Structure 1
Amino acid sequence: METMKSYIFKTDGGSVGYFQRNGGDCKLYVSSEYFPICEFKSWSKWEQYIESGHDGAPESTHEHPISKAVSYFLWEHCESVSPNIVEFHESAYRPGTYFPRINRDISNLYLHQISSSSFIDELRAFYNIIDTMEDIFKVVEPTKENITTYGHRIREVLTVACTEVEYLFLQALKKNGYEEKRQYRTSDFVSLLNVYKLSEYEVELKMHPKLGRIKPFASWDESKPTQSLFWYSAYNASKHDRGGSFEKASIEAMVNAIAAIHILLEAQYGSKIFDKPLYSQYESCFYTRKSPIWNVEDMLAPYIDEKLKVIWDCESEYFAS
């Protein structure tokens, strides 16, 4: 019996799709903002097209032979999706495999992930921290002139925010087969830097745009995992030596720490979790201005069942794979 082959592709219009073939039976799925394409295809139809004298799908610039077939199947949808495939990759994993708390904007995976009770708990914690930050902003206007302002309440929020950042990192490591340790440190957390491409994120405070773009992970360095995150280093210093490092617990450090939570939630559950009202009922005080662009080699493919339903049913571990 022929084993199912699963492929992930991207068109020149930026659409991501999946093609699964089991002998002559094929399934095609292309994500779309409003109406995704999901349908059965027959491999024999492609073979008949080739046997009739055609040498491939001229619209496709990709040379992979299966890519040519997928491009051919996309032709009838050319008004909504470009048939020109620019990235194409055969998945090494069983269809439906996913890594917990690693989203990479894979189609529909966020719907599976946010159904967990842990997501709601983490979202509530995030909202509580935001509420306290907004109370501080009623007294101190968050402008570039005031970012060095510090105080006890600011330090408390910074501490809680950094604790939440630690929690999100810790859960991602534990769920993905990272080495078990008695105590995890930033030298462990930084192993997720490239997994999420955290340094590429840029966000803004929706109601306080004068602060400009906030990039909490832009300078994160594996050789200096604590010191290279100024806001985390500020939390660490003010926690252990409040008297000598009080001024480090500033508005700037606090805002960056809370922005880091927003970024980690998106990295773990997907950018759509705060896309209200189109995809989600939730929203954030931050707006993501720049996020990573993932190649198809970085993505996983869902299982498309006989009812053409997209399914994620096989949890795996990133660090154990």
Structure 2
Amino acid sequence: MPEYGFLDHDGRFGALWYETGDYITVFLPHTSSKILTSSLDLWRKYDEYVGTPDDKQNYSSEINAAALAMSQEGSYMDKGTLKPLIRPRGDYHARVWRGIPPKHLLDSGYSGLTRDQAEHHLYMESTHSATSLLEELTRLFRTIAPAPANDLTYGHRVRELLILACTEVEASWRGIYTANCSTPKKSYSTKDYVKLKPLLRLDEWIVRLKNYPGYPDINPFKEWDEAERMTTKSLTWYDDYNAIKHNRENEFHRASLGALIKAMAAVHVLQVAQWGPELYHRFHGNRYSAFETISLPEYGPEEQYISVPAGLHPIKKVPYFG
């Protein structure tokens, strides 16, 4: 069955699929109808309507018939964005966001990521834990101002928060990895977790501190390297955590504010890479963070999940790592 994703004239996501020209389904999540139907008979009834003269030559009759149904809802297919879906509709990877973020406060964007009851419980626990840590970072800033000149400042409270932040990062790593494995192992290391970097495109997420414009932007996973013996050392803030966890007496100076800020930024990034950037938008998830996302991966229409209930069952969780 042909299945396509596309954007409309306003950059909003849609999809279409059909077995025959007798029944063509169009999914427009931003409209009140959400599910539209069309057919070749309907298209012919409207004199084989097309958007431009070349559309008949460049696109199938079924696609043009779907575009006709959209136009009747005041939405117009940008056929240049039309691509076959890379996974069957209904399939998704647990705790791996795919979507189109809101363009402004009143825009809903698009996220097809679904959560069953167990995943919703994990979502609530994960976001609550991250919020608690990020609030503690903000409290620390009342004592030590976040500035490049203070990045090497270290102390016991910074060490405590660095350990908590990195164990939260580990919890997210493990949760996402095991949710995408058919046969989980008893133990994991960064040799396993580094495989999440391309899946979540972690090196493309950039954040900044909300209330401290003088502090540099942060890309906590940019240098993560899968090379042998580098999966821990290439994340300097995580390597610092390991040092001060196991050898405080000799490595205490590595419990620095700069390492802590990067680790907390990693907590934020793993939250949005799992659940979507709208998590921290005021009119959507409305969770608290000391950071704001300023750059994120762009997922094309062919990469989106289609997992809403209306006529799209079955919804199936597919392990990414097999």
- Please give the range of the TM-score, normalised by the shorter of the 2 chains: 0.7 to 0.9
Report the CA distance between 1:49 and its aligned residue: 6.1
In 2, distance between residues paired with 1:46 and 1:303?
A: 26
In 1, distance between residues paired with 2:247 and 2:23?
A: 66
Partner secondary structure for residue 125 of structure 2: helix
Identity of aligned residues (%): 25
Q: List alignment gaps of at least 5 residues for structure 2.
A: 101-109
Q: Which residue does 1:17 correspond to in 2? A: 14
Q: Which residue does 1:272 correspond to in 2? A: 278
Q: Which residue does 1:143 correspond to in 2? A: 147
- RMSD of the TM alignment (CA)? 2.8
Q: Which residue does 2:124 correspond to in 1? A: 120
Report the CA distance between 1:176 and its aligned residue: 0.8
Conservation of the 8 A alpha-carbon contact between 1:6 and 1:301: no
In 2, distance between residues paired with 1:290 and 1:311?
A: 33
Report the CA distance between 1:132 and its aligned residue: 2.0
Q: Which residue does 1:101 correspond to in 2? A: 95
Pick one of 34, 41, 45 that aligns with 1:38: 34
Please give the residue correspondences for 1:48-87 in structure 2 after superposition, counting only pairs within 5 Å: 48=44, 52=47, 56-58=50-52, 63-65=58-60, 66-77=62-73, 81-87=75-81
1:236 matched to 2:238? The reply is no
- Give the TM-score of the pair, scaled to structure 1: 0.84
Q: Which residue does 2:294 correspond to in 1? A: 289
Structure 1's 312 and 210: CA in aligned 2 closer, same or farther, altered over 3 A? farther
Please give the residue correspondences for 1:242-253 in structure 2 after superposition, counting only pairs within 5 Å: 242-253=248-259
Report the CA distance between 1:60 and its aligned residue: 8.1
Partner secondary structure for residue 44 of structure 2: helix
Pick one of 210, 233, 238 that aligns with 1:206: 210
Q: Deviations over 1:178-223 (max 9, x none)?
A: 6533321111111010111110111111122221311101111111
In 2, distance between residues paired with 1:101 and 1:154?
A: 29
1:152 matched to 2:156? The reply is yes
**Letter in structure 1 aligned against 2:135:** D
In 1, distance between residues paired with 2:53 and 2:152?
A: 56
Report the CA distance between 1:295 and its aligned residue: 2.2
Report the CA distance between 1:131 and its aligned residue: 2.5
Conservation of the 8 A alpha-carbon contact between 1:226 and 1:233: yes
Report the CA distance between 1:67 and its aligned residue: 4.1
1:217 matched to 2:221? The reply is yes
Q: List alignment gaps of at least 5 residues for structure 1.
A: none
Report the CA distance between 1:45 and its aligned residue: 4.2
Report the CA distance between 1:47 and its aligned residue: 4.4
Pick one of 254, 278, 287 that aligns with 2:260: 254
1:305 matched to 2:276? The reply is no
Q: How many residues align?
A: 307
